[in-house]
Amino acid sequence: MIDLRSDTVTKPSQAMREAMFAAPVGDDVYGDDATANSLEESVAHLLGKEAGLFTPSGSLANQLAIRMLVKPGEELLSETHSHIVRAELGAAAVFSGITTRTWLADRGILKASDVLEIARPDSGPYLVSTTAIAVENTHNFGGGSIQPLNEIAELRRESQALGIAMHLDGARLWNAHVATGIALKDYAQHFDTVSVCLSKGLGAPVGSVMVGSKELVATARQWRKRYGAGMRQIGMLAAAGHFALDNNIARLSEDHRRAQLIATAAHSISPTFVDPTTVDTNIVALDLRAIKATASEVNASLKAEGILASALGPKFLRLVTHLDVNDGDIEATCVALKKVLSNALVA
């Protein structure tokens, strides 16, 4: 099977496994794991922040970050289809007492004015106050769309004047960086906290890093332990993250090129399915509203052809390229996809 369900399905390469095997380790709860400490420092440096905290998942990195910025009973703003709102199972409310309110954006692409229009800081004793904004870059359910740096900068400038903090869900920030050439620090400078994932496009088996000020990260470290995620000899996992940073960032351009091939194949059957010019990175989001078949039905047909994708809505099918697929896999995917979509179009 050619697995395009997500870029989380990658397996560690032999070279990555060797780096993991050789990693110095210690008890991270005591701060004694040199490899984990080094990884946290490296990611913080890349993003221009003071400190970092290794977490087992991107969801935990996000939740720790917003916990630092929003008190129980206060409000976080995020886009309607953002990962924090749709894919973290209400964790902000369950664990932190945070309420959320959303703005809707085409393909999830940020417009500062949309956010500022609904922001309500300092709302007094009878209304919920907005205290933070979360932006996702790239935007997963927006089809891997890249957030405009000028809109981020404007939102930071205006929200900071209102006393509102900002968090960047940068699980796939590496993809935005490679696609645009914009430095990671140039994105991160506009946010109080940032989370980045090592186990998606970069191919590590597990792990994300949350970065911010030393004070915020020190407090988040306590909350990580409180949430049951204090880890011991995690240098073996951190070493995979180091290897990923050293070897797998630049090659993301290959994933982007291959996603374009898939998008072009789908577009050739019907332009209603996807516009290849809107496929910025490694995610192809197919809009199936023009056909009778559901995303689940199309997904089942693809599986019968040896292709795994993700039905993420009644008419939304997602395919994600990654380092464990090659050009031959993509060629086979394009053939199968055109066959399946052609049959669905005339059904």
* CA separation for the pair 16, 327 (Å, rounded): 22
Structure tokens at 234: 């995690």
Half-sphere exposure of 250 (CA within 13 A, CB side): 2
90 occurs within a structural domain = yes
Could you tell me the pLDDT band of residue 190, with boundaries at 50, 70 and 90?
very high
Tell me, yes or no, whether 116 and 265 share the same domain: no
Provide the β-strand partners of residue 308: 3
Could you tell me the pLDDT band of residue 224, with boundaries at 50, 70 and 90?
very high
Tell me, yes or no, whether 202 and 236 share the same domain: yes
Residue with tokens 């989370």: 195
Average pLDDT, the chain: 97
pLDDT attached to residue 98: 98
Q: What is the mean pLDDT of residues 224-238?
A: 96
Half-sphere exposure of 231 (CA within 13 A, CB side): 19
Tell me, yes or no, whether 45 and 175 share the same domain: yes
Helices 14-21, 235-247: inter-axial angle, 10-degree rounding: 140
Tell me, yes or no, whether 140 and 207 share the same domain: yes
Tell me, yes or no, whether 184 and 273 share the same domain: no
Peptide bond just before 138 cis, omega within 30 deg: yes
Tell me, yes or no, whether 25 and 105 share the same domain: yes
Q: 159, exposed or middle or buried, with CB in 10 Å at 0-12, 13-18, 19+?
A: buried
pLDDT attached to residue 188: 98
Q: What's the CATH number where 193 sits? A: 3.40.640.10
Tell me, yes or no, whether 76 and 209 share the same domain: yes
234 occurs within a structural domain = yes
Q: What's the CATH number where 262 sits? A: 3.90.1150.10
pLDDT beyond 90 at 320: yes
3-state SS of the chain is CEECCCHHHCCCCHHHHHHHHCCCCCCHHHCCCHHHHHHHHHHHHHHCCCEEEEECCHHHHHHHHHHHHCCCCCEEEEECCCHHHHCCCCHHHHHHCCEEEEECCHHHCCCHHHHHHHCCCCCCCCCCCEEEEEEECCECCCCCECCCHHHHHHHHHHHHHCCCEEEEEECCHHHHHHHHCCCHHHHHCCCCEEEEECCCCCCCCCCEEEEECHHHHHHHHHHHHHCCCCCCCCHHHHHHHHHHHHHCCCCHHHHHHHHHHHHHHHHHHCCCCCCHHHCCCCEEEEECCCCCCCHHHHHHHHHHCCEECEEEECCEEEEECCCCCCHHHHHHHHHHHHHHHHHHHHC
CB 144 within 8 A of CB 176: no
6 occurs within a structural domain = no
Could you tell me the pLDDT band of residue 65, with boundaries at 50, 70 and 90?
very high
pLDDT per residue as tens digits for the range 246-299: 999 999 999 999 999 999 999 999 999 999 999 999 999 999 999 999 999 999
Tell me, yes or no, whether 146 and 92 share the same domain: yes
pLDDT beyond 90 at 47: yes
Domain end (from 228, 247, 266) = 247
Q: What is the mean pLDDT of residues 176-204?
A: 98
Beta-sheet pairing, 208-212 with 51-55: antiparallel
Which residue range forms the structural domain that includes residue 95?
Answer: 12-247
Percent of the chain clearing pLDDT 90 (strictly above): 99
Per-residue CA distances from 44 to 184, 194, 214 (Å): 11, 9, 10
Amino acid at 199: S
303 occurs within a structural domain = yes
Tell me, yes or no, whether 54 and 96 share the same domain: yes
Question: In terms of Cα–Cα distance, which of 115, 119, 121 is closest to 153?
Answer: 115
7 occurs within a structural domain = no
226 occurs within a structural domain = yes
Amino acid at 338: K
Tell me, yes or no, whether 176 and 271 share the same domain: no
pLDDT attached to residue 27: 96
Tell me, yes or no, whether 32 and 165 share the same domain: yes
Total of domains in the chain: 2
76 occurs within a structural domain = yes
pLDDT beyond 90 at 346: no
Domain end (from 247, 273, 303) = 247
Question: In terms of Cα–Cα distance, which of 235, 158, 172 is closest to 200?
Answer: 172
Residue with tokens 């049951």: 228
292 occurs within a structural domain = yes
pLDDT beyond 90 at 347: no
pTM, rounded to two decimals: 0.96
Domain end (from 247, 271, 297) = 247
Helices 327-346, 252-269: inter-axial angle, 10-degree rounding: 20
Angle among Cα 248, 88, 255 to the nearest 5 degrees reads: 25
Provide the β-strand partners of residue 133: 77, 166
Tell me, yes or no, whether 142 and 31 share the same domain: yes
